[in-house]
Amino acid sequence: MNIQTSYHHRFRDIGNLDIGLYYGDINIISLNSSFLQDEVYLSYRLSKKCGFETIHPVIPATMDTISESAMCIHASLNGSFAAVHKGLGPEKQGKEVNKTKRYKAGYIPNPVTLHPDVKISEAVAIRRKFGYKTVPIINKENVLLGALEAVNYSQKYHLEDTVEQHMTGLDDLLIESQDIDPEKAYDNMVTQRVTNLFYIDKTGKFKGMSTRTDIETSEYPNPTKDKHGRLVCGASVGGPGRDLEQRLKMLIENEADIIVIDTAQGDSEGVRYTIKEIQNFCPDMPIIAGNVDNKYSVRRLIDWGADIIKVGIGPGSICKTTQEIGAGIPPLNSVWECAEAAKESGISIIADGGFDGRGDVAKGIAAGAKAAMSGHFFRATDETPGEIKFGKDASGNEMRYKEYSGMASPEALARSGGGRYYQDGVPVEKIAVQGETHMVPCRGPVDFEFSKLLTALKFGMAVHYGSKTIDELSTNPDLSFIIKK
C-alpha cells in the first residue's frame, strides 16, 4: 500500500519550501534506532585554524549578561567554549580572558552569597535548590563578613533567625588573597583542616572561594583545552572603532584562542575591515564573523577571510530587530541557506539564537549548522555576570533574580555606549530599541544546563535521528520533519 506523506519534508529540501520556519514550527520525524547513546561521538573542530576540538556543540552567547570569565571557564570545562563579551573595556576584557587561561580546578569566582540580615530560611532554600552547604556572607559593598555553614543552624529551630546570628565570623575562616597560587591554597586548606577557602582583594571585598571537594574530585572528563593544556577562551570585538587596535593587542597578549566579530549585521564594510585588522595582528587567529542570514552575505564573509560564520538576525527571545527594523530570515531557513553556501568552501556555521527548548539544537544542526550559540539556555545561572536582585513571585514567595538583556536593550546600550548598533553617543531614549530585558529567577550552576543540553542531544541522535556524529546529523539525507502549523 502506497501511503502518501506530503507533509514530510526533508531537511535537505528546505530550500524548496515557500514558507519561513522557526525551530518551534517543526518536529523531527524519528528514524530507525540501531545504536546506543554511548556510541554517539560529538567531538568536532569548527575550523582547521582552531587549535582545539570540542565535544559540546552549544556555545554561550557573547552577551554582557552571559559571558565573562566564569562562564568561559565552565563552558570549556564542559567541553564547549565561550568568548568574553566586548561590552568591557579592552584592558578588563583582556583580564577576563587571562582569568580563564589561568584557571585551576576548585576555584568558584561567583558563588551565591547572602546578606547578614536575611533569614536562615533563605539559606535553607538555597541549600535545597542548589545543594550548597556553605554560603559566603557579604554586605552591600561586597565586603566579606563571614560564612553560613550547614552546621551553624538547625532547620527545625532557627528558620526565623537572621544569618548574622549564626554565621561563622572572619576570624574562624581561612581567607587568602585572590592572587594566591592554587596549589598553595589547597595545601593551606589541608594544613588548616578546613573544606573552604575564601578570597578577598586588598580592600576586603569578596572575590570567590575554593572547596576541597571540587579540587579533589574531577567532574569534567572532557574539557576544551589548548595545546598547552589550558582552558580555551575566546573574545568578541565589534567593527572599526576607537579601541579596536588596543583591544586586539590586549586579546593577543592574554592569549585568546579565537575572536568573534560580533555585529548586528555582519555583511558590512566595517566587518571586512575588522577581519583584515585581525589578520594583520595575528594571521593564525581563527575568526568567527557575523551575524548574517543569507547565502550572498556568507560568500562575502568567506571572501574576506572569515573562518567560521555566525548565522541569525532577529530570532532571539529578547531580540526585537524583526519587529523594529523588519530584517531577518527565520532561523531554520537562514541556517540551511547559509550552510549550503558555506559548504562550497568547507566553512562551518554557527546557528545563533532562536532556541527555546533543548530539542531546537538538533533542529539547527540538522539544518546544517556545526554548532549552536544561545543566551537563553544559560541565562541567570550562577556563572553569568550581574548582581542578584531580590523580589517576590506571584504567590509572595521570596525570589532571587538576575538580569538577562538583549545586546540592543536600553540597559545593554547604556552600558556599552551602543557601538554595536551604530548609536554611539545617542541618548538611549532616542534610539529605536532592538532588544529587551527580562528579570529571570536564578537557575543554579551552569554545569547542570550544559549536561542537560548534551544528554538531550545525544539521546535524540541515538534514539530518534540515526546519527552518530555532528556531521551525520547535519547531512543525513533521510532526516525529515513535519510543519506544525
Together in a domain, 126 and 71: no
Give yes or no: residues 329 and 465 share one domain: yes
Q: Does 325 share its domain with 413?
A: no
Is the entire prediction scored with pTM above 0.75?
A: yes
Distance CA 163, CA 147 (A): 9
Cβ contact 90:241 at 8 Å: no
Task: Quote the CA–CA distance of 316 and 435 in Å, as a whole number.
Answer: 9
Say if residue 89's pLDDT is above 70: yes
Q: Is the pLDDT of residue 170 over 90?
A: yes
Q: What are the residues whose beta carbons fall under 8 Å from the beta carbon of 92, sequence distance 6 or more?
A: none
Check whether residue 177 and residue 320 sit in a common domain: no
Here the CATH number for the domain that contains residue 192 is 3.10.580.10
Residue 309, phi then psi, degrees to nearest 5:
-125, 135
Unique residue bearing C-alpha cell 569566582: 109
Give the CATH number for residue 456.
3.20.20.70
Tell whether 208 is covered by a domain.
Answer: yes
292 and 268 in contact (C-beta within 8 Å)?
no
State whether 312 and 375 are in the same domain: yes
Q: Are residue 61 and residue 203 in the same domain, yes or no?
A: no
In this structure, the chain runs to a length of 485
Q: Which of 304, 293, 298 is nearest to 271 (CA)?
A: 304
- Shared domain for 358 and 395, answered yes or no, is no
Residue 57 counted as domain residue: yes
404 and 258 belong to one structural domain: no
Q: Per residue, what are the HEC states of 302-348?
A: HHHCCCEEEECCCCCCCECHHHHCCCCCCHHHHHHHHHHHHHCCCCE
Residue listed under C-alpha cell 585588522 = 277
Which candidate in 338, 420, 442, 443 is catalytic?
Answer: 420
Which residues are CB-neighbours of 269 under 8 A, at least 6 positions away?
Answer: none
- Rounded distance between C-alpha atoms, residue 376 and residue 239, angstroms: 25
Task: State whether 464 and 419 are in the same domain.
Answer: no
Q: Average pLDDT, stretch 347-352?
A: 97
Mean pLDDT (the chain) is: 90
The answer to the question of residue 223 being in a domain is no
The total of structural domains in the chain comes to: 3
What is the predicted pLDDT for the residue at 1? 46
Decide if 247 is inside a domain: yes
What is the structure's pLDDT at 375? 96
Domain carrying residue 297: 32-101+228-381+446-477
Q: How confident is the model at residue 4 (pLDDT cuts 50, 70, 90)?
A: low
Q: Which three cell numbers stand for residue 278?
A: 585581525
pLDDT, tens digit, for every residue of 262-313?
A: 998 999 999 999 999 999 999 999 999 989 999 999 999 999 999 999 999 9
| Span 54-74, pLDDT tens digits | 999 999 999 999 999 999 999
What's the pLDDT at 319?
72
Could you tell me if 233 and 82 are in contact, meaning their C-beta atoms sit under 8 angstroms apart? yes
If asked whether residues 78 and 116 sit together in one domain, one would say no
Q: Which domain-ending residue is among 157, 184, 216?
A: 216
Any residues with CB less than 8 A from the CB of 460 and at least 6 apart, and which? 28, 359, 362
Neighbouring residues of 13: CB distance < 8 A, sequence distance ≥ 6: none
Say yes or no: 316 and 460 in one domain: yes
Q: What angle do CA 6, 10, 14 make, to 5 degrees?
A: 100
pLDDT tens digits along 100-132:
987 876 677 778 899 999 999 999 988 887 778
The reply to whether 483 falls in a domain is: no
Residue 36 has pLDDT above 90, yes or no: yes
Residue 10 lies in a domain: no
- Catalytic residue flag (residue 420): yes
**In this structure, is residue 39 part of a structural domain?**
yes
Coil vs helix vs strand at 412: helix
Residues 322 and 451 in one domain: yes
Higher pLDDT, 325 or 126: 126
The catalytic residue among 319, 358, 442, 443 is 319
Query: Is residue 17 domain-resident?
Result: no
Give 3 or 149, the one with higher predicted confidence.
149
